[in-house]
Amino acid sequence: MTRIGFAYNLKPESSELSGPTGPAAQNQIPGDGDASRPEEDPPSTTDDEFAEWDSIETIEAVAAALGEAGEVILLEANEDFPERLRNERPDIVFNIAEGRHGVNREGHVPAICEFYGIPYSGSDPLALSTCLDKARTKETLEYHGVKTAAFTVVRSMSDVSAARSLSFPLFAKPVHEGSSKGITERNFCRTWNDLQVQTAFLLETYSQPVIVEEYLPGAEFTCAVLGNGSEARVLPIVGMNFESLPDGALPIYGFEAKWIWDRPERPLQMFDCPAQIDDSLTKAIELVTLDAYRVLGCRDWSRIDVRLDAAGTPNVVEVNPLPGILPNPADNSCFPKAARAAGMSYNELIQSCLRFAADRQNVALSEFMGRARAA
């Protein structure tokens, strides 16, 4: 039987969660539950430190799916991970670990697997670290001619003047974060003064460079990609329904929408899947998504955010090679939602990612997976 190591980071205290029904409940970022406060204080770096780690519910669901494909060895990506991996030597590691420290944190588990010569699922350390740096991601996209909003990187306030070459309104965000850490309505800058105030705030609060980019005013989509090479495909596109946000809210899927307004007792109807768009826009979005996936070196799976510019052309906003995969359909997790729209169960999604990883590295999977593929 195939021995599958499962690498993850468990969110602190998440085993105490009871009956979570929304991201706000699952991720324990404090919000005050008042849906009418776009001026909510942005998160501090400590409030949302573990926002990207997984809950016990997700970890159990993934382990159950992997359990149908082999013997699962739980490998929490803590300090003991390297030693445990070395002792266990699984045939393959299924990796969802977001990592512990530093800007290369998502690359640590894959790098350790590479060090020991153990196959693993998903993107390599270079792709993971590149995608966690929104500026490096956009440089790579631009170099390869994949459409993305014009931008500049501000490392200290003396760099802000470089933004003079960009057209307002602008949007500012911390360069290394995910899960909308540090992305609130205040990041939308209409004026030079807005930009200076918000950039100074982000530099100070997040202690990292700030990316300033042209604001994309059009519709937004997120695209789940599964597979490699010519087998890579975009699952049904998820469209964002900004009309579900409180009146007057900026049409973005930022911190307020993810963690304050989307309450378990009052969930936002944020997503349409498949998105209600015509064939030519669907094709254009799929094309830019697969181009981004390819040029960034993504493997097995990724979720790519796309937004339309003023001309209606799809632009890549960012690439997530470790997609969120909350198992409960009530949780509004986009990758599993897209998989469901494609007729795949949660287990099939996880097993499909595992199969792409195994095929690419010539790892033989157990009997069950052979049958699943033939079916």
Ligand X SMILES: Nc1ncnc2c1ncn2[C@@H]1O[C@H](COP(=O)(O)OP(=O)(O)OP(=O)(O)O)[C@@H](O)[C@H]1O
User: Judged by CB under 6 A, does residue 27 bind ligand X?
Assistant: no
Complete edge-to-edge strand list for the sheet that includes strand 210-214: 151-154, 210-214, 170-174, 188-189
User: Judged by CB under 5 A, does residue 177 bind Mg ion?
Assistant: no
Q: Is the CB of 73 or the CB of 250 nearer to ligand X?
A: 250
HSE toward the beta carbon, residue 184, CA cutoff 13 A = 18
- Annotate the chain with three-state secondary structure: CCEEEEEECECCCHHHCCCCCCHHHHHCCCCCCCCCCCCCCCCCCCCCCCCCCECHHHHHHHHHHHHCCCEEEEEECCCCHHHHHHHHCCCEEEECCCCCCCCCHHHHHHHHHHHHCCCECCCCHHHHHHHCCHHHHHHHHHHCCCCCCCEEEECCHHHHHHHHHCCCCEEEEECCCCCCCCCCHHHEECCHHHHHHHHHHHHHHHCCCEEEEECCCCCEEEEEEECCHHHCEECCCEEECHHHCCCCCCCCCCHHHHHHHCECCECCCCEECCCCCCHHHHHHHHHHHHHHHHHCCCCCEEEEEEEECCCCCEEEEEEECCCCCCCCHHHCCHHHHHHHHCCCCHHHHHHHHHHHHHHHCCCCCCHHHHHHHHC
For residue 20, give both structure tokens: 């979570």
Stretch that binds ligand X, among 15-23, 87-95, 211-219, 350-358 (CB under 6 A): 211-219
Q: Is the CB of 179 or the CB of 351 nearer to ligand X?
A: 179
Stretch that binds ligand X, among 20-28, 70-78, 250-258, 357-365 (CB under 6 A): 250-258
User: What are residue 308's DSSP bridge partners?
Assistant: 314
Nearest-approach distance from CB 326 to Mg ion, in angstroms: 15
Nearest-approach distance from CB 82 to Mg ion, in angstroms: 30
User: Judged by CB under 6 A, does residue 178 bind ligand X?
Assistant: yes
User: Judged by CB under 6 A, does residue 137 bind ligand X?
Assistant: no
User: Judged by CB under 5 A, does residue 213 bind Mg ion?
Assistant: no
User: Judged by CB under 6 A, does residue 179 bind ligand X?
Assistant: yes
Q: Is the CB of 93 or the CB of 216 nearer to ligand X?
A: 216
User: Judged by CB under 5 A, does residue 305 bind Mg ion?
Assistant: yes
Q: Is the CB of 54 or the CB of 91 nearer to Mg ion?
A: 54
Stretch that binds Mg ion, among 13-21, 96-104, 301-309, 333-341 (CB under 5 A): 301-309
User: Among ligand X, Mg ion, none, what binds residue 66 when CB lies within 5 to 8 Å by partner kind?
Assistant: none
User: Judged by CB under 6 A, does residue 149 bind ligand X?
Assistant: yes
Contact with ligand X (CB under 6 A) among 254, 314, 327, 336: 254
User: Among Mg ion, ligand X, none, what binds residue 254 when CB lies within 5 to 8 Å by partner kind?
Assistant: ligand X
User: Judged by CB under 6 A, does residue 307 bind ligand X?
Assistant: yes
User: Judged by CB under 5 A, does residue 331 bind Mg ion?
Assistant: no
By rule CB under 6 A, what count of residues binds ligand X? 20
Stretch that binds ligand X, among 57-65, 176-184, 199-207, 294-302 (CB under 6 A): 176-184
Nearest-approach distance from CB 109 to ligand X, in angstroms: 18
Q: Is the CB of 40 or the CB of 220 nearer to ligand X?
A: 220
Could you list the residues that contact ligand X (CB under 6 A)?
149, 171, 173, 177-180, 183, 213, 215-216, 220, 252-254, 305, 307, 317-318, 320
Could you list the residues that contact Mg ion (CB under 5 A)?
305, 318
